[in-house]
Chain A
Amino acid sequence: MRTAAARQTSLRTTERPRENWVSQIGSFLFVLPYLVAFGFFLGYPIVFGATVSLQHWNPMIGSGGWVGLGQYLNLFNPSDLASQQFWQALLNTLLFVFISVPFLVGIPLILAYCMYLSPWKSVFRSAFFFPSILSATSVMAVWSWMLQTEGGPINHFFGSQIPWLVRQPWAWISIDLVTVWWSMGFNLIIIYAGITQLPQSTLDAASIDGAGIIRTFRSILVPQLKSILSVVLILSTIGSFNLFAQPFLLTGGGPNNSTMSVSQEIYNQGFGLNHMGSATAMAFVMGILLAAVSFVQYGTLRERRG
């Protein structure tokens, strides 16, 4: 009996690793399609891009020879025009991020709360989300007409002659205004969904304790939505760093390159001047910077959440 039991135990122990192994293989097979897609569409382009950034690379004919870190070092050469353009574009983009992100988080937060309190939730939800589904080209075409200095409806309405798209700071104000109008709907829906998930009892208790709308917003809503707001903040920052269509179609990067974004500069280098090596080096520097900013943002917000 003892021998039979021992044999059975030994069988079980030898079967368990096999079962585990089979189970792991099964799990791996479920992940495999994603891994293949990840490797093909993300891993390979990143590795390929890294190799391109270490070479002279003309998109029409391919490699023109290895230059090591030459493309990266060139970005720090102040006498090089491409380097000057890159840093100016980076500063422009940072300026846009600092201006637009607070609005892209703050306005949807306030509107989502107003929407939550309003009896016409679905109407407002559709109305605010609608611009997000429009293509960049059509949105920018309409706004570039609306913001014209002489014949634009906005200046006509206010009886003014503000050079919205022609001079600074108006060019940045216009780009930010259009960006917020166009893309806040997505953030608004996320935040609104977060508000609807808050326990009603907490809001009711605040109401019984005499908290008004503003106090409830400040002391209950915002603290409880911190995790959602941190996601919205990071997504908005990444989205703002990738600024392209708005200055490209509204101001053409002007006046005097003051609204030229990094993405546009990378595009010009790669596809306009065929300097693909330099363009990919710029893209990697921007990617590293963006990862660092997101990391700091996420770390800070996580610490605060405690």
Chain B
Amino acid sequence: MELSARRIGLSASAVLTALAGLAVYGAQVNAATPINISFWTSGSPAGVTQIVSEFNKAYAGKYQITFRAIPYSNETTVVNSALTAHKAPDIMEESLTFSTPYAVEGLEMPIGPFLKMAGINPKADFPAPMWDKAAVAGVHYVAPTDGLPTMFYWNKAMFKAAGLNPNKPPRTLAQFVADAKKLTNAKKGVWGYVQEPAWPAPFQFPSFLGQFGGTEANPTTKKMMFNGPAGVKAVQFMWNSIYKWHISPQNASAHESYNLFLQGKNAMMMTGAYDYASTSQKLGKNLGFSTLPVIGKKEADFLGQNYWWVFKNPSLTPAKDQGIADFMKFFYTHSLQLAKAGVLPVWQPTLRSAAFKHIPGDAQQAAALQKGILNPLITGWGTAGSYLYNNIDEALLNKMPIKEALDKAAQQMEQTLNQPTA
């Protein structure tokens, strides 16, 4: 009896120990199951992967970011397919133009509450042009993640050879034309500036338009406004550089200014900051890089960019919302890593930091962000914009008067953008 009582006692204590162990293990498992947050980007994954990895380490067991970089070329197809299959990511990062249809269709969460949870003050923490003009019907659905301003590049060696001060680039239209004329030797195929009818016109035209005080369109009424006097002056500058001042060749192919710039046959170019790394590598100390000269009345430059937003997924919970907010804050406060990877951050504290200012080319780009302008937030702007650039091409190929080209583009775009989704 004694034996059996001891056995019973031992068995009971073994069972109790096992149950306690299971309970502890269960609690550990629960604690170790993190909230999964999916994050897709069609932007550059440079720097982002490292930030995500550090976040996952810092919040191990609490949150897990599943990161996926999707190809820029067919981002719409991928994201729309995911939406149709109810497998959209929690956070999506794309350029601003692509975000608009999702906001208009009510598929995005307002971003304000997430920023508030993260303790982010968007008016103070982002460059004003990137926040103020990024609302759809007065509501902010997106927040900027990186920027890509239109910049001015010049070849210092060519400036020196032409008897110009290589450290004093043109800042006004008159200086620009005068310098370009000195730099041009058409017989030898050397140009002061190369104005293509095609790319990078989508970076140049909105910049010049903004400089002359114009805007592309009214997002509320979907009325095109680029065909006003400012738009005509903007295209007139581009046309003059080819046919009046003869500082640019005729019939230049898309992105030819860049190739000729690398070959030392083009002294100045105005295009997106995406060419900084390669031109800097090729020209080294002979590369000059700054904000655009003032061709019009004031400083302005078109901003390429990426924004992110939160899709209205059924899986969102208050805990997940907090995780998203925590990740956003972590991303912004670690955005120096983006700069080190060659991507321009938009978090003002990072832009003001000494470490950031030491990265070559970034201080100039940060200055450009503060004068940046964005495309209007109208669904289909990216595709319908081809009408605008086709007609500008026609004007720059001298096949159509400038005003007529812009009016035709405005009429075509208004018809396209005001069509109901069919």
Confirm or deny: B194 has a beta carbon within 8 angstroms of a beta carbon on chain A. yes
The interface residues of chain A, by DSSP majority, are classed as: loop
Query: Contacts of A161 on B, CB cut-off 8 Å?
Result: 249, 251
With A149-B251, A150-B260, A255-B197 known to touch, is A274 a contact of B189 (CB < 8 Å)? no
Contacts of B315 in A (CB 8 A): none
Inter-subunit contact A255/B394 (CB<8 Å): yes
Of the candidates B198, B199, B260, B415, which one forms a contact with A151 in the assembled complex, judged by CB atoms under 8 Å apart? B260
Interchain CA distance A81-B387 in the complex, whole Å: 11
Q: Which of A149, A268, A271 contacts B80 (CB 8 A)?
A: A271
Interface membership of B157, Cβ < 8 A: no
| CB-based contact B197/A166 at 8 Å | yes
- Per-position 1/0 for A42-64, Cβ under 8 A of B: 00000000000000111111101
Closest B residue by C-beta to A253: B386
The reply to whether A151 and B422 form a contact with Cβ atoms under 8 Å apart is: no
Residue of A nearest to B104 (CB): A60
User: What separation, in Å, do the CA atoms of A274 and B417 have in the docked complex?
Assistant: 11
Whether the pair B393, A254 counts as a contact (CB closer than 8 A) is yes
Asked if B253 and A274 make an inter-chain contact with CB atoms under 8 angstroms apart, the answer reads no
Partner of A60, one of B101, B380, B384: B101
Q: Which of A115-123, A140-148, A202-210 contacts B (4 or more CB under 8 A)?
A: A140-148
Which A residues are CB-close (under 8 A) to B253?
Answer: 144, 147-150, 152, 163-166
Verify if B76 is at the interface (C-beta below 8 Å from A): yes
Contacts of B415 in A (CB 8 A): 81
Q: A59 to B416, Cβ gap below 8 A?
A: no
Q: A64, B421: Cβ atoms under 8 Å? A: yes
Report chain B residues within 8 Å CB of A167.
251, 397
| B333 contact set on A, CB distance < 8 A | none
Whether A61 lies near B105 (C-beta < 8 A) is yes
Query: Cβ of A256 and Cβ of B393 under 8 Å apart?
Result: yes
Q: Looking at B80, B379, B421, which has the most chain A CB atoms within 10 Å of its CB?
A: B421
Q: Which of B191, B379, B391 contacts A274 (CB 8 A)?
A: B379
How far does the Cβ of A201 sit from chain B's closest Cβ, in whole Å?
53
Residue B20 lies at the interface, judged by CB distance under 8 Å to chain A: no
B397 engages A59 (CB within 8 Å): no
> Can you list 15 A-B contacts (CB < 8 A)?
A56-B422, A60-B84, A60-B105, A61-B105, A144-B253, A145-B259, A148-B253, A149-B256, A150-B260, A252-B386, A271-B76, A272-B384, A273-B384, A273-B416, A275-B422
Known A58-B421, A252-B198: A151·B263 in contact at CB below 8 Å: yes
Q: A59-B80, A271-B74, A274-B379 are in contact. List 16 more A-B contacts (CB 8 A).
A: A56-B421, A59-B84, A61-B107, A64-B421, A82-B416, A147-B253, A150-B253, A151-B260, A165-B254, A166-B397, A167-B397, A253-B386, A256-B393, A268-B383, A272-B383, A274-B421
Which of A67, A81, A163 has the most C-beta atoms of chain B within 10 angstroms of its own C-beta? A81
A224 at the interface (CB under 8 A from B): no
The winner among A74, A144, A151, A271 for most chain B CB atoms within 10 A is A151
A52 to chain B, nearest CB (A): 11
A70 to chain B, nearest CB (A): 8
B249 proximity list for chain A (CB < 8 A): 149-150, 161
Q: Inside 8 A of A187's CB, which chain B residues have their CB?
A: none
CB of A93 within 8 Å of the partner chain? no
Q: How many A-B pairs with Cβ below 8 Å?
A: 117
| Cα-based distance from A268 to B74 in the complex (angstroms) | 12
Would you call A277 and B422 a contact (CB within 8 A)?
A: yes
Q: How far is the CA of A60 from the CA of B78 in the complex (A)?
A: 11
Q: Mark A residues whose CB is within 8 Å of B.
A: 56-62, 64, 67, 71, 74, 81-82, 144-145, 147-152, 161, 163-167, 252-257, 268, 271-275, 277-278
Q: Which 7 A-B pairs have the closest CB atoms?
A: A272-B383, A163-B251, A148-B253, A59-B80, A275-B422, A58-B421, A273-B380
- Assembly CA distance A163 to B242 (angstroms): 15
Whole-angstrom distance between the alpha carbons of A206 and B292 in the complex? 73
| Neighbouring A residues of B391 by C-beta, 8 Å | 256
User: Contact between A151 and B76 (Cβ–Cβ < 8 Å)?
Assistant: no
A277 CB to closest chain B CB (Å) equals: 5
Residue from A59, A62, A167 with most neighbouring chain B CB atoms (10 Å) = A59
Whether A271 touches B189, Cβ cut-off 8 Å, given contacts A149-B253, A151-B256, A152-B253, is: no
Nearest A residue (CB) for B248: A150
Q: Give every chain B residue within 8 A of A274 (Cβ-Cβ).
A: 101, 379-380, 421
Query: Are the C-beta atoms of A272 and B84 separated by less than 8 Å?
Result: no
A74 vs B420: C-alpha distance when bound (angstroms): 13
Shortest A295–chain B CB gap in Å is: 30
Judge whether A149 and B393 touch: CB under 8 Å.
no
CB-CB contacts below 8 Å: B170-202 with A = 189, 191, 194, 197-199
A256 to B198, CA, bound (A): 10
Q: Does chain A have a CB within 8 A of B390?
A: yes
Q: Return chain B residues, CB-CB under 8 Å to A152.
A: 253
* C-alpha spacing A165/B255, complex, angstroms: 12
